[in-house]
Chain A
Amino acid sequence: MKWCSPIFINNEWHDSVSGKKFEVFNPANEEKICEVAEGDKADIDKAVKAARKAFELGSPWRTMDASERGRLLNKLADLVERDRLTLATMEAIDGGKLFSTAYLMDLGACIKTIRYCAGWADKIHGRTVPMDGNFFTFTRHEPVGVCGQIIPWNFPLVMFIWKIAPALCCGNTVVVKPAEQTPLSALYMGSLIKEAGFPPGVVNIVPGFGPTAGAAISHHMDIDKVSFTGSTEVGKLIKEAAGKTNLKRVTLELGGKSPNIIFADADLDEAVEFAHVGLFYHQGQCCIAGSRIFVEEPIYDEFVRRSIERAKKYTLGDPLSPGVQQGPQIDKEQFQKILDLIESGKKEGAKLECGGGPWGNKGYFIQPTVFSNVTDDMRIAKEEIFGPVQQIMKFKTIDEVIKRANNTTYGLAAAVFTKDIDKALTFAAALQAGTVWVNCYSALSAQCPFGGFKMSGNGRELGEYGLQEYTEVKTVTIKIPQKNS
C-alpha cells in the first residue's frame, strides 16, 4: 500500500511538520500495513494551538448548549455503529485482535461508552452553597481546558473512546496521541468526528512515538491536563514532566498484577473459566489480567488440572480467520519480553504445565502457557508479563492470602470466588484494588468507575466519578444586601 495516513488537526488532514513517516505493521504476519505521518513536538504545538482556539470564551464549542454536546456524541455513536465492520477489521489487522472479539466486544463497548457519556453532558451540576455571610455562592463545573490524551495499543479504539467521550461531554478540547503500534482506528475516528459535526479544533489526533510526541504533550506549557493509559514506568515519567512544567492535572491508568483468589467453596467450573478468560483474554494483554491466581489448598490440584485442559484447547492463527481463538502479541518487543519472562519462570523453579514458547514461523505468536507451583518471589509472580502466561499459586488461610494479594506495588483489580457471604464482603473491603470482582472477572461497563490503587494509577475513568477528572470547579461568591435561607 502506498497510502499514508496523515495527522488530524482542526478537522483537516496534515502531513507532519518534519515530513517524516513511520510504518505500521500487522502483528499476525509482520507485514507493513501502511505508513503514517509521524507527529513530533512541532505537530503537538500546532494541535494545541488549534485546541486552545476552539476552547476560547465565545467559541462555538464554549457557547454550545450542553445538551447539544450530548447530541453530537450520540451522533458519533451512530456513525461508529454504521462503520462497525470497518473499525473492527482495522482493530484486528492493526492490533492483532480476534475479529469476532473486536466486532462484538470492542465495538460494542465503544458504542455504549459514547452513549453513556453523551447522557451526562447536560447533567453536570454545580452547587449553590450556604456560605457564612451575606453572599450568594455557587459553583460552576467548567471544562478543564486542553486535554492531552495518550492511549495504548491493547484496546486502541476502546481506549480512544474512554478518553475522548468523558472529555468532550464535559466540554473540553483534546489532543490525542494514539499508540505508534495502532494508530489507524483513532485516525479513522477523525473523519467520523468531523462528519458528526464537532467544531474544528475540538478533537485533534497526532500519531507518533512516546519519547517525542508523548513527551511533548506531558511537557507542554499550554496543556491543562494529561491523561495516560500505559505502563507504570512511563506513567511515572508523565507525572514527573507535569510536575516540572505547568502542574497540569494528571490521570494515569497503569499496569497491574491482579490477584484472583479461589476458595474451595467456589463453583469450580465457573472459577476455572473466569480465571482462564481473566488471564488469556486478548493474548494476556490486559492491564486487569488476573495474573496471580491464588487457589485454596484443598482444590489446588484439581484447579490446576482443569486450567491446563482449558489452556490446551486453543487454535492460534490469523485474527481475521473464523475459528481462531488466539492471535499474535502486538510486536517484537512484547514478544521478546514475554518469552524472557517465561524463561525466568522455568529457571526460578516454577512448574511449566503447558506451552512455554513461541508458535508458528511468522508473526508474534506465543503458546498459551500455564505455570503451577509458583511462589511469590518469582519474577513471573511479581512483574507484569502482558502475555498468555498464567501463574497458579497455593494458599491456606484468609489472612495469609489477603496479605499476599496486597503485597504488590500494583492495585488495579482483584477477584474472589466464594459462595460464602462473609468471605465475599471481607475481601471486598480488604483487597487494595480499584475494582474487586466477586464470583466473576473482567466485568466492566461504562457506568462503573475504573482505576488503580497505588502504582496502578491515579484517578478514575468512566462512571460519574470519571467526570471529575475533566472538570475544574470555580466558586463564584456574590455580595448581596441580605442573605435569607
Chain B
Amino acid sequence: GSKIFINNEWHDAVSKKTFPTINPATGEVICQVAEGDKADVDKAVKAARAAFQLGSPWRRMDASHRGKLLNRLADLIERDRAYLAALETLDNGKPYSIAYLVDLDMVVKCLRYFAGWSDKFHGKTIPLDGDFFCYTRHEPVGVCGQIIPWNFPLLMQAWKLGPALATGNVVVMKVAEQTPLSALYVANLIKEAGFPPGVVNIIPGYGPTAGAAISAHMDVDKVAFTGSTEVGHLIKKAAAESNLKRVTLELGGKSPNIIMSDADMDWAVDQAHFALFFNQGQCCCAGSRTYVQEDIYNEFVERSVEKAKSRVVGNPFDFKTEQGPQVDEEQFKKILGYISTGKREGAKLLCGGNPAADRGYFVQPTVFGDVQDNMTIAREEIFGPVMQIMKFKTIEEIIERANNSKYGLAAAVFTKDIDKANYVSQALRAGTVWVNCYNVFGAQAPFGGYKASGNGRELGEYGLEAYLEVKNVTIKIPQKNS
C-alpha cells in the first residue's frame, strides 16, 4: 500500500500524481507514493463523516468493543513488528535495533493503554439548582484531522490514533511526505483488525496542499498537529479562519538540561548525551541547551566530547550503529548551516561539525562549548546531532535563563538534593520536567508544551480531553431529591 487509504480501500490520488519517498541512508528512491491533495482530503472527510453518522456501526458500537479493536490492532502490530521496524528504518533512517526495541514497543503499549480507556471515561451527574436531573455526556468530537511528523512515524501515528479511536472519533490522517510507508502499512492492519470503513483514513501528501486542506476544511471538527512551531502557527490560523475547529499542537522545543554540581557525574553525562543525540537529534524535546554548574563544567565538557566522539554513525540496519542519517536533504543542509553559524558567532567547536559520509544525510556528532544564550545555536531548534554546553553559577540565574525561551516543551535537572529538585521542577515553565533522567516517556503520562511548544496535552488520561466534546443534558423533573 503506497496509495491513499479511504473507507478501508486503496485509492490513487484524484490527480493521479505520485511523489517519491527516499531512503536517507543512501539518497535513493524507495518507491512512489500517491500524492494526496485537497480533492483526496475532501473524499476522506466525506467517508469519515459518513462513518460518524448517528446510528452508524461505529457510533452504536459498545465502548468496550472499541477497546477490543484497538487491542486487536496492537496484536497485529506485534505480529508484524519486524517488518514494520524495517520499513521505519528504511524510510526514516533510525537504527533498526531502536526501531524494533523502542519505537515498536512504545507503539504497542500506547495502543493497549488507550484500548483500556475506551469504556472508562465518564461523564458526570450534577446537583444543579432547581428541579432538574442534570448530566454530561462525553461525546466524541467528530471528524479529526491528524497531521503527523517524520521523526517517529509509527509512534506519532499511535499517539494520534489511540486517544481518537478510544473515544469514538473518526480520523483523516496526513502522514509526513518524508516517511509515509510504515503508517500506510498500518492502514492494512486497521482494516484487518475490524475497524468499520471510514473510521480511519490515511492520506500521504505535502503540508501546503493536503495538510492545509485539512486545517482549512469546513467539515473537520478538530485538527491535531505535531511538527514545527512555524507550521503550528499556520494551522491555528487556518482553524480560526475556517470553522473554529478545535486545535491541539505539539511543536518544537529548545529544552534546558540543568546539571547541578552535586549530580552523579557519570550518569549526568550519559543522560545529557542521550537527551541530545537520541534519534539523530530529531526529537522535539531534545535537551539542546545543556547548562552545567561552574564547578563541574570543565570535566563535564571533556567527558561529553569523549562520549560524542565514540558515537557510532553508520548503516542503520547494522546492529552496531547508534546513529543513522538525518531524515532528508533539507534537514541535513539546515543542520550544517547551524553548525557554521555556531562557529561564526564564536561558539567553540569541540568535535564533529561535518558530514559523516559521502552518501546519505549523515552528520557527525557535534559538540559546542562556551555557548552564550544569545547565540543562534542556543536559541533556535537545530533538530540534529549538535550539542550546546553552557555554564551557570546559581539556581536563580539558571531558572531565569532556562525559562528565557519562547519554547517550553521539556526540561530536566540533575541533582541529589531534594530541595533543589523540588524547587527547580516547580519553577521551570515546561510541560515535562525530568529529575535525574531524560526522555522518559510512558503512555500513562501527559506530554505537551508550555508557550510556543504547543497547545494541549497528549497521552495519559489528559490526552482524552482534546478528543471529547462535553454535552450537558438537563431534564426537568417533578421534584429533585439529593
State which residues 67-126 of A face B: CB under 8 Å.
67, 70-71, 74, 112, 115-116, 118-123, 125
Which of B177-185, B227-235, B308-316, B474-482 faces chain A?
B474-482
Residue contact A484 to B426, C-beta cutoff 8 Å:
yes
A446 to B119 Cα, complex, angstroms: 9
Residue contact B117 to A119, C-beta cutoff 8 Å:
yes
Known: A74-B71, A447-B64. A120 touches B109 (CB 8 A): no
Residue contact B422 to A136, C-beta cutoff 8 Å:
yes
Residue contact A123 to B444, C-beta cutoff 8 Å:
yes
A119 to B117 Cα, complex, angstroms: 7
**Chain B, Cβ-Cβ closest to A136:** B422
Select one of B109, B418, B419, B475 contacting A421, CB under 8 A: B475
- Render A459-485 as a binary contact track against B, CB cut-off 8 A, 1 for contact: 000001000000000000010111110
Known: A74-B71, A119-B67, A478-B418. A426 touches B479 (CB 8 A): yes
A70 to B479 Cα, complex, angstroms: 44
Residue contact A464 to B122, C-beta cutoff 8 Å:
yes
State which residues 124-178 of B face A: CB under 8 Å.
133
- Render A360-388 as a binary contact track against B, CB cut-off 8 A, 1 for contact: 00000000000000000000000000000
A74 to B74 Cα, complex, angstroms: 13
State which residues 458-479 of B face A: CB under 8 Å.
461, 475, 477-479
State which residues 41-66 of A face B: CB under 8 Å.
66
- Render B279-312 as a binary contact track against A, CB cut-off 8 A, 1 for contact: 0000000000000000000000000000000000
A115 to B68 Cα, complex, angstroms: 9
Residue contact B481 to A119, C-beta cutoff 8 Å:
no
In the complex, 10 of the A-B residue pairs with CB atoms within 8 angstroms, ordered by the A residue number, are A67-B112, A67-B444, A71-B112, A123-B461, A136-B426, A421-B475, A426-B478, A429-B133, A482-B423, A483-B426
Known: A67-B444, A478-B418. A429 touches B481 (CB 8 A): yes
Task: List residues of chain A with CB within 8 A of the CB of B423.
Answer: 480-482
A77 to B171 Cα, complex, angstroms: 30
Task: List residues of chain A with CB within 8 A of the CB of B444.
Answer: 66-67, 122-123
A271 vs chain B, min Cβ distance (A): 22
Residue contact A478 to B422, C-beta cutoff 8 Å:
yes
Select one of A118, A125, A422, A478 contacting B116, CB under 8 A: A118
Residues of chain A whose beta carbon lies under 8 Å from any beta carbon of chain B: 66-67, 70-71, 74, 112, 115-116, 118-123, 125, 136, 421-422, 425-426, 428-430, 445-447, 464, 478, 480-484
Residue contact A484 to B120, C-beta cutoff 8 Å:
no
**Chain B, Cβ-Cβ closest to A478:** B422
A467 vs chain B, min Cβ distance (A): 10
Residue contact B115 to A119, C-beta cutoff 8 Å:
yes
Question: Is B218 interfacial (CB-CB < 8 Å)?
Answer: no
**Chain B, Cβ-Cβ closest to A482:** B423
Extra pairs beyond A70-B112, A429-B480 (16, CB < 8 Å): A67-B444, A115-B67, A115-B68, A116-B119, A119-B118, A119-B119, A119-B120, A121-B116, A122-B444, A421-B475, A422-B478, A426-B477, A426-B479, A429-B133, A430-B481, A478-B422
A121 to B116 Cα, complex, angstroms: 9
A402 to B142 Cα, complex, angstroms: 42
Question: Is B407 interfacial (CB-CB < 8 Å)?
Answer: no
B187 vs chain A, min Cβ distance (A): 25
A157 to B442 Cα, complex, angstroms: 34
**Chain A, Cβ-Cβ closest to B444:** A122
**Chain A, Cβ-Cβ closest to B423:** A481
Residue contact B427 to A123, C-beta cutoff 8 Å:
no
Question: Is B113 interfacial (CB-CB < 8 Å)?
Answer: yes
Residue contact B461 to A125, C-beta cutoff 8 Å:
yes
A192 to B427 Cα, complex, angstroms: 50
Residue contact A67 to B117, C-beta cutoff 8 Å:
no
Residue contact B64 to A112, C-beta cutoff 8 Å:
yes
A484 to B423 Cα, complex, angstroms: 9
B429 vs chain A, min Cβ distance (A): 11
Task: List residues of chain A with CB within 8 A of the CB of B443.
Answer: 67, 122
B425 vs chain A, min Cβ distance (A): 9
A478 to B475 Cα, complex, angstroms: 46
**Chain B, Cβ-Cβ closest to A118:** B116
A121 vs chain B, min Cβ distance (A): 8
| B residues contacting the other copy or chain, number (CB 8 A) | 32
Residue contact B116 to A120, C-beta cutoff 8 Å:
yes
A464 vs chain B, min Cβ distance (A): 6
Select one of B109, B116, B133 contacting A119, CB under 8 A: B116
A71 to B108 Cα, complex, angstroms: 12
Task: List residues of chain A with CB within 8 A of the CB of B63.
Answer: 447
A348 vs chain B, min Cβ distance (A): 34
**Chain A, Cβ-Cβ closest to B426:** A484
Residue contact B426 to A67, C-beta cutoff 8 Å:
no
Known: A481-B423, A484-B426. A447 touches B120 (CB 8 A): yes
Task: List residues of chain A with CB within 8 A of the CB of B71.
Answer: 74
Task: List residues of chain A with CB within 8 A of the CB of B479.
Answer: 426
**Chain B, Cβ-Cβ closest to A119:** B116
Best-buried of B68, B117, B122, B422 by chain A (most CB within 10 Å): B422
**Chain B, Cβ-Cβ closest to A426:** B478
A483 to B425 Cα, complex, angstroms: 11
A431 vs chain B, min Cβ distance (A): 11
Known: A67-B109, A123-B117, A478-B422. A425 touches B477 (CB 8 A): yes
**Chain A, Cβ-Cβ closest to B62:** A445
A70 to B419 Cα, complex, angstroms: 35
Task: List residues of chain A with CB within 8 A of the CB of B119.
Answer: 116, 119, 446-447
**Chain A, Cβ-Cβ closest to B63:** A447
A123 vs chain B, min Cβ distance (A): 6
Task: List residues of chain A with CB within 8 A of the CB of B475.
Answer: 421, 425
Task: List residues of chain B with CB within 8 A of the CB of A447.
Answer: 63-64, 119-120
State which residues 411-436 of B face A: CB under 8 Å.
418-419, 422-423, 426-427
Q: Give the 4 A-B residue pairs with the shortest CB-CB distance, closest first.
A: A119-B116, A480-B422, A425-B477, A447-B119
A67 to B459 Cα, complex, angstroms: 14
A305 vs chain B, min Cβ distance (A): 32
Residue contact B120 to A123, C-beta cutoff 8 Å:
yes
**Chain A, Cβ-Cβ closest to B166:** A119
Task: List residues of chain B with CB within 8 A of the CB of A67.
Answer: 109, 112-113, 442-444
A425 to B478 Cα, complex, angstroms: 9
**Chain A, Cβ-Cβ closest to B71:** A74
A271 to B415 Cα, complex, angstroms: 68
A40 to B481 Cα, complex, angstroms: 48
Residue contact B64 to A116, C-beta cutoff 8 Å:
yes
B478 vs chain A, min Cβ distance (A): 5
Task: List residues of chain B with CB within 8 A of the CB of A118.
Answer: 116
A43 vs chain B, min Cβ distance (A): 35
A70 to B115 Cα, complex, angstroms: 11
Select one of B116, B118, B120, B427 contacting A464, CB under 8 A: B120
**Chain A, Cβ-Cβ closest to B478:** A422
**Chain B, Cβ-Cβ closest to A429:** B481
- Render B344-383 as a binary contact track against A, CB cut-off 8 A, 1 for contact: 0000000000000000000000000000000000000000
A19 vs chain B, min Cβ distance (A): 45
Select one of B116, B442, B481 contacting A70, CB under 8 A: B116
A481 to B426 Cα, complex, angstroms: 11
**Chain A, Cβ-Cβ closest to B479:** A426
A483 to B423 Cα, complex, angstroms: 8
**Chain A, Cβ-Cβ closest to B133:** A425
**Chain B, Cβ-Cβ closest to A124:** B444
Task: List residues of chain B with CB within 8 A of the CB of A74.
Answer: 71, 112
**Chain A, Cβ-Cβ closest to B114:** A119
Select one of A422, A426, A464, A480 contacting B426, CB under 8 A: A480
B431 vs chain A, min Cβ distance (A): 15
A419 to B39 Cα, complex, angstroms: 48
Task: List residues of chain B with CB within 8 A of the CB of A484.
Answer: 426-427
A120 to B444 Cα, complex, angstroms: 11
Task: List residues of chain B with CB within 8 A of the CB of A421.
Answer: 475
Task: List residues of chain B with CB within 8 A of the CB of A445.
Answer: 64
B435 vs chain A, min Cβ distance (A): 12
A74 vs chain B, min Cβ distance (A): 7
Task: List residues of chain A with CB within 8 A of the CB of B461.
Answer: 123, 125
B473 vs chain A, min Cβ distance (A): 12
